[in-house]
Structures are given as structure tokens and as C-alpha cells.
Chain A
Amino acid sequence: GNSVTQMEGPVTLSEEAFLTINCTYTATGYPSLFWYVQYPGEGLQLLLKATKADDKGSNKGFEATYRKETTSFHLEKGSVQVSDSAVYFCALSRSGGGADGLTFGKGTHLIIQP
């Protein structure tokens, strides 16, 4: 079945540091890939998405490229801020929709220190 693997953390960085959160997946076909972010006490918000190989999703300075050859969708940001502290989830949906909803990774807790 489908699965998503990501580093769980916590990942602690200083403000303005470079961020990479690794995400790899297992799926048949051509899934769509997502990064969601969850701030304390809130639900999940879509951060970015990519629907086909080599697509790059970007939003708020975050980027991720859909790499089918390495089945990866790593999240990057050049300079993090304290306000980026949150839990980040990598997710996939089966191509063409599916009977099993979104498949999420376990989440990566990111802590940015001033």
C-alpha cells in the first residue's frame, strides 16, 4: 500500500538557517504530493503541492520538487523564521483519487530559535 516516511524530529534550528525536511514515499502510479503545516491548536493548512514528476511546489518561501526517480518530495526553505515553528506533514493521494484518502507521514516538529 501507500506510505510516506519523514524525519520526525524535533528539528531545532536558529533563525535564518537553511531548512530541509526529508520526505520519501511508496506508491503505485503517479500520486499527487503535498506538504501540510499544523500550528499549535489548529488544523492542517496546505503549504504546497505537486501533481506530477518534476513539478515544483512553492509557497511562503518553502519549496519542494516531485522527484519520481528517488520517490522524494523534500521540503526546503532558505531562511527560516521563528514563525515557521510548527509541525510539517508530507502526504500523498493516490493518482486519480482513491479509496484510502490522503496518506500522511508522521509529521516533523520544527522549532526555530531566535
Chain B
Amino acid sequence: KAGVTQTPRYLIKTRGQQVTLSCSPISGHRSVSWYQQTPGQGLQFLFEYFSETQRNKGNFPGRFSGRQFSNSRSEMNVSTLELGDSALYLCASTLAGFAGANVLTFGAGSRLTVL
């Protein structure tokens, strides 16, 4: 079956712009999580959606937002881009709620460069 699909894979924006990234989870997976990966901070949890509701949120400013649709596809948005937002944004899906033993399946990521 198809894996987690993220689009676009690469994009370049300038400071002050906004960006929307898309994630299609594995068919049947209802939970989608987003992570930011940078060389300095490593992998950091952004938020998690389950059945169109944001259940968990990491320690990021309000410029970072997301949503989930009825088909479990998810988007995240970053407004008023800053240079420090340059990162690889990873989406992960899992069958049910995010619980200790549930395994996340990650997409290949969307690499955002802010100039």
C-alpha cells in the first residue's frame, strides 16, 4: 500500500511569505503528526491531529498551524516566514490515537528554504 505522501518535496520562499505543506497518510490511518527537523534543534514535535481535531501541540509560535480533513489528509501552514523556519518538515501517520506503542510511519518530508 502507498506510504505517507508529502508535497511539495522542495520549496523556496522569502521572509514574510507564508507556506502550506500537505500530507496524505497511509490509507486507514487517522492520526497525523508533524515534526520539524533542523541541524541545530534536531527533530521537534509540532502538532498531532486525529479525526480532524488537534489533540496535541508542541512548543511552537502561533505562526505554525495545521488542519486535518475528513479523509485524514493534513496540511500545515507557516505564516510570516522567518529564516529560522528553514527546515525539513516531516509528517507521520498512525492507525489510531498516539499512544506509547503505536508506530509512526513517516513521509519523506518537505524541505523548506527561506531566503
Contacts and interface: CB of A to CB of B under 8 A. Distances in A.
Interface of A: 31-32, 36, 41-46, 49, 51, 89, 91, 93-107
B43 A104 contact: yes
Interface string B80-112: 000000000010100001111101111111000
Nearest to A46: B103
Interface of B: 4, 6, 33, 35, 42-46, 48, 56-58, 90, 92, 97-101, 103-109
A101 B48 contact: yes
The DSSP consensus for interface residues of chain B is: strand
A40 B104 CA distance: 19
A44 B107 CA distance: 7
Contacts of A99: 56-57
Contacts of A100: 45, 56, 58
Closest 9 CB pairs of A and B: A101-B45, A43-B106, A104-B43, A32-B100, A97-B99, A44-B106, A106-B42, A43-B108, A51-B101
Given A89-B43, A101-B45, A102-B45, A95 B56 contact: no
B90 to A, nearest CB: 6
Given A42-B108, A101-B45, A94 B103 contact: no
Contact of A45 (B99, B101, B106): B106
Contacts of A95: 100
B90 A97 contact: no
A42 to B, nearest CB: 5
Contacts of A103: 45
Nearest to A42: B108
22 contacts: A36-B106, A43-B4, A43-B92, A45-B106, A49-B101, A91-B43, A93-B98, A93-B99, A96-B100, A97-B98, A97-B99, A99-B56, A100-B45, A100-B56, A100-B58, A101-B45, A101-B56, A102-B33, A103-B45, A105-B42, A106-B42, A107-B42
